[in-house]
Amino acid sequence: TLSVTPIAIPGLSASLYGHNEQAALVCSVYDAPPGGRRALAYLPGLGSDAYYLDDPSFGLQNIPEGWHTRSAVDLNSHGVIVGNMELDDAPDTDVRPMYITGISSGAPVLNTLGPFDSAAWHEAAAGVNDSGDMVVWSQERMADDSLVDSLYVGNPGLHGQSPTPFIEIDFASAGY
């Protein structure tokens, strides 16, 4: 039976995105310092505290200078978290997809994904499966201000899988 422990976050609005068999909760917290959103996770294997993923006490390595973890949108049964980063001083203007490995070993590392579409104004991680295959959503703004969505799927070489390049899924040719 899955046991889920709620997290009280006074004064903040949070969205629950997922949990795995170890009842790890991953969510995004809105209006958190330094501005915009920040990713938060409750990881029972690391104790009873919830952590901002970029908090120094969590020990996340490899965060690019001037960026923070904005959201955590999915995790797999190996503890890999996918989510997004944003600039510290410009929330909601520049978002980059990322994934975090090494949580269970106590040495978590942030890895950036993309860019996949040089014309995209927004790219965001959307999911990860137990094989380490990841989905990234990309949005391109056209001259008439309409938006064109794309999905990219690939595996950076996780869980013993060979790296596979991220490829764009062409929904038009599939009749969608």
Q: What is the DSSP string of 74-126?
A: EE-TT--EEEEEEETTSTTT-EEEEEEE-TTTT--EEEE-----TT-SEEEEE
Q: pTM here?
A: 0.80
* Residue with the larger pLDDT of the pair 36 and 133: 133
Contact 13, 71 (CB under 8 A): no
Q: What's residue 175's pLDDT? A: 53
Q: What's residue 33's pLDDT? A: 55
How far, in Å, CA of 106 to CA of 51, rounded? 13
Q: pLDDT digit string (tens) for 10-65?
A: 455 555 555 555 445 566 665 555 556 777 776 666 565 666 788 777 788 999 99
Q: pLDDT tier at 4 (50, 70, 90 boundaries)?
A: very low
CA dist 160 → 106, 149, 164 (Å): 20, 31, 12
* Residue with the larger pLDDT of the pair 99 and 46: 99
